[in-house]
């Protein structure tokens, strides 16, 4: 007869002596039923009342029906003190295992907030370590469904050490298997670092928060008063800090989007992303593109419309959609092949490169390169953003991150200059000189060190100042500079773009180029690792 713990309904005594094999099996089913049920109906109701699903409900949404295989369901902690001896629930507050998403293996761990607030103790941590090791060994993605109160306070330093083991594995797995963190509750302290080490962070508005220290500590230390959501809610991290890549209104949509993202990623760094049969014709013309992009370089337009027109079925997913909007990072398909798209967004800050845009795109390029996703870059960039804030904020080292990421990327790289591409920003955004495999330009391109006005003011300063009519002289010099150096064929004549193409043929040219580059193989010099700017 199993002895049950009073408050949690969990067994605290060892199972009874078996009478026969069938008795043993029946007992197993009884224990499993207890583990599956979790602590109590009341705790489940409390979780639902907060607008949150339970860990098992979340796993069901993530994985293909019936595919979940749990690991260490019967694990219990061995900690003592603070009444822990009497409270030893199965799973120890985290559910771990694997299943499939659209038939492909995915490993998962999910905090059960109903048990110690999902807080991480020693046994809980070693379960996560094991599943991470299994994911790395199997070469399959790892998804964490986070809803935990950080280190389990009663277990002290053992809990903290458990986090260390997770961080080390996150780092080892980086660039080896895709790692996705889904934030579904309050995640403080140690619970926030692991997601930051992973490839993608998803959050849900109102119910999930991430911070190093909560509002109470903030108030005590700095005197600032702020709510949990104001400090580390989904919108804050999706728009201001850039900590999260995707934010949704509810858990169901959030988890459905995780499944979609997985469909665009390979299982590991030795595989390519899954290719689908495209129904959108490879040679579909995009006559509307010329209307979408105004020829006047100073007029804004929405680059997402250009992307939509070019990619398969107009379908793409933006990463960091609401952070650093002056640059777009998106995953899409071209003739069924997954590509990463980096594009300046002229309708936000005129599409300049600033600190945040550089950081956003650098991480994206790095991710694409790690997971064999070819990179297509659409340029329409007036340059880096000038200003004291930017310089003092370290635009040089942040901009260098993007440069480094591109220079280091060995996946197929194709760039297309739609309109203007000035100065350092032109070089950084995957120019031929930093290793793009193919570079194209529309006949509306203006590639130059800087805009004609600025250029004339620098190199013809004296002539303009000494002229009888300085304005007329300036206009003449601007015109001269434009016709000499800024005509669309200047770069093509020098082989710095591989071709000037009709915008309507963009999709076909990109698809043909990707097909040619499919077997590309490039090695970097042997080294322990680079020392990228931080
Ligand atoms: C996470 C919360 C915002 C959730 O608030 P809620 O009101 O929803 O829920 P709650 O407070 O009733 O908690 C639910 C149950 O979980 C327990 N519980 C909560 N946090 C716990 C923790 N860290 N360790 C052990 N148990 C914990 C509660 O006692 C309660 O148990 P019962 O149901 O039995 O009553 C809050 O609990 C909280 O602030 N917890 C402390 C978070 C924290 O400081 N963690 C340490 C981070 S330091 C860290 O990780 C390392 C670092 O410094 O970086």
* Ligand 1 neighbour 89 (Cβ under 6 A): no
* Ligand 1 neighbour 188 (Cβ under 6 A): yes
Nearest CA to ligand 1 atom 13: 117
Instruction: Please state, in angstroms and rounded to a whole number, the distance separating the CA atoms of residues 254 and 256.
Output: 5
**Which ligand 1 atom sits closest to the C-alpha of 43?**
33
Nearest CA to ligand 1 atom 23: 152
pLDDT for 7 = 47
**Which ligand 1 atom sits closest to the C-alpha of 149?**
1
pLDDT for 496 = 92
pLDDT at 123 over 60: yes
* Ligand 1 neighbour 189 (Cβ under 6 A): yes
What are the catalytic residues?
189-190, 424-425
Instruction: Please state, in angstroms and rounded to a whole number, the distance separating the CA atoms of residues 84 and 90.
Output: 13
Residue of 48, 86, 149 to mutate, ligand 1, most atoms within 8 A of C-beta? 149
* Ligand 1 neighbour 331 (Cβ under 6 A): no
* Ligand 1 neighbour 404 (Cβ under 6 A): no
CA angle (299, 452, 497) in 5-degree steps: 80
* Ligand 1 neighbour 187 (Cβ under 6 A): no
Residue of 7, 52, 111, 117 to mutate, ligand 1, most atoms within 8 A of C-beta? 117
* Ligand 1 neighbour 116 (Cβ under 6 A): yes
- CA dist 512 to 156, 369, 384, 432, 505, Å? 58, 20, 32, 18, 11
Q: Which helix (H) or strand (E) holds 474?
A: helix 470-485
Does residue 166 contact residue 96 with C-beta atoms inside 8 Å?
A: no
User: What is the percentage of the chain residues whose pLDDT exceeds 90?
Assistant: 84
**Which ligand 1 atom sits closest to the C-alpha of 212?**
54
Ligand 1: centre distance to CA 126 (Å) = 20
Ligand 1: centre distance to CA 360 (Å) = 32
Ligand 1: centre distance to CA 170 (Å) = 24
pLDDT for 16 = 59
pTM of the model: 0.94
Per-residue pLDDT, averaged over 21-28, amounts to 92
Instruction: Please state, in angstroms and rounded to a whole number, the distance separating the CA atoms of residues 241 and 192.
Output: 13
Of residues 289, 411, 293, the one with CA closest to residue 351? 293
Instruction: Please state, in angstroms and rounded to a whole number, the distance separating the CA atoms of residues 107 and 451.
Output: 51
Per-residue pLDDT, averaged over 305-317, amounts to 98
Ligand 1: centre distance to CA 47 (Å) = 14
* Ligand 1 neighbour 119 (Cβ under 6 A): yes
Does residue 477 contact residue 454 with C-beta atoms inside 8 Å?
A: no
pLDDT for 6 = 43
Instruction: Tell me the CB-side half-sphere exposure of residue 440, using CA atoms within 13 A.
Output: 21
Task: Classify 168 as helix, strand or coil.
Answer: helix
Nearest CA to ligand 1 atom 22: 152
Per-residue pLDDT, averaged over 465-478, amounts to 90
Q: Of 423-427, 481-485, 516-520, which gets the smallest average pLDDT? A: 481-485
* pLDDT band (50, 70, 90) for residue 484: confident
- Identify the top-confidence range among 5-9, 58-62, 153-157, 212-216: 58-62
Of residues 46, 402, 61, the one with CA closest to residue 262? 61
pLDDT for 481 = 86
ipTM of the assembly?
Answer: 0.96
pLDDT for 3 = 47
Per-residue pLDDT, averaged over 112-127, amounts to 96
Ligand 1: centre distance to CA 153 (Å) = 8
Ligand 1: centre distance to CA 92 (Å) = 15
Nearest CA to ligand 1 atom 7: 117
Angle, nearest 10°, between helix axes 303-310 and 506-517? 60
Angle, nearest 10°, between helix axes 156-173 and 190-197? 10
Ligand 1: centre distance to CA 120 (Å) = 10
Nearest CA to ligand 1 atom 19: 117
**Average pLDDT score, the chain:** 94
Ligand 1: centre distance to CA 215 (Å) = 14
* Ligand 1 neighbour 148 (Cβ under 6 A): no
pLDDT for 5 = 56
pLDDT at 12 over 80: no
């Amino acid at each position: 007869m199993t002895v049950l713990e009073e408050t949690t309904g969990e067994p605290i005594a060892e199972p009874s002596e078996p009478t026969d094999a069938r008795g043993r099996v029946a007992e197993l089913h009884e224990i499993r039923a207890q583990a599956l049920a979790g602590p109590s109906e009341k705790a489940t109701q409390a979780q639902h009342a907060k607008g949150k699903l339970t860990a098992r409900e979340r796993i069901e949404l993530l994985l293909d029906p019936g595919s979940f295989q749990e690991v260490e369901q019967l694990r219990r902690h061995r900690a003592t003190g603070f009444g822990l001896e009497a409270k030893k629930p199965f799973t120890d507050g985290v559910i771990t295992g694997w299943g499939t998403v659209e038939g492909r293996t995915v490993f998962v761990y999910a905090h059960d907030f109903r048990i110690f607030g999902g807080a991480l103790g020693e046994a809980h941590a070693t379960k996560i370590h094991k599943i991470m090791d299994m994911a790395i060994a199997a070469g399959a993605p790892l998804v964490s469904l986070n809803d935990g109160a950080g280190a389990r306070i009663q277990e002290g330093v053992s809990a903290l050490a458990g986090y260390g083991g997770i961080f080390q594995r996150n780092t080892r797995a980086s660039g080896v298997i895709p790692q996705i963190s889904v934030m579904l509750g309050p995640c403080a302290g140690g619970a926030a670092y692991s997601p930051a080490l992973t490839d993608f962070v998803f959050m849900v508005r109102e119910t999930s928060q991430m911070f190093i220290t909560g509002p109470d500590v903030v108030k005590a230390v700095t005197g600032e008063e702020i709510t949990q959501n104001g400090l580390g809610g989904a919108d804050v991290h999706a728009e201001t800090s850039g900590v999260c890549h995707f934010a949704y209104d509810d858990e169901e949509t959030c988890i459905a989007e995780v499944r979609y993202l997985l469909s665009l990623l390979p299982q590991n760094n030795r595989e390519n992303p899954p290719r689908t049969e495209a129904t959108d014709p490879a040679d579909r013309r995009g006559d509307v593109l010329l209307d979408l992009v105004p020829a006047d370089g100073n007029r804004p337009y929405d680059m997402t419309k250009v992307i939509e027109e070019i990619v398969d079925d107009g379908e793409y997913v933006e990463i960091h959609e609401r952070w650093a909007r002056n640059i777009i990072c998106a995953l899409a398909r071209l003739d069924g092949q997954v590509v990463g798209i980096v594009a300046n967004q002229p309708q936000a800050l005129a599409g300049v490169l600033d600190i945040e845009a550089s950081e956003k795109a650098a991480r994206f390029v790095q991710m694409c390169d790690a997971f064999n996703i070819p990179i297509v870059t659409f340029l329409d960039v007036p340059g880096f953003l000038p200003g004291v804030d930017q310089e003092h904020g370290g635009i040089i080292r942040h901009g260098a991150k993007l440069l480094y990421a591109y220079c280091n990327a060995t996946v197929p790289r194709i760039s297309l200059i739609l309109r203007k591409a000035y100065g350092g920003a032109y070089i950084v955004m995957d120019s031929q000189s930093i290793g793009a495999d193919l570079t194209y330009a529309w006949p509306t391109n203006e590639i130059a060190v800087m805009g004609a006005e600025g250029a004339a003011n620098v190199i013809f300063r004296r002539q303009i100042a000494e002229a009888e009519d300085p304005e007329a002289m300036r206009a003449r010099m601007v015109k001269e500079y434009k016709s000499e150096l800024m005509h669309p064929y200047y770069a093509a004549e020098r082989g710095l773009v591989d071709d000037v193409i009709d915008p309507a043929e963009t999709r076909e040219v990109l698809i043909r180029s990707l097909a040619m580059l499919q077997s590309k193989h490039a090695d970097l010099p042997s080294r322990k690792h680079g020392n990228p700017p931080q």
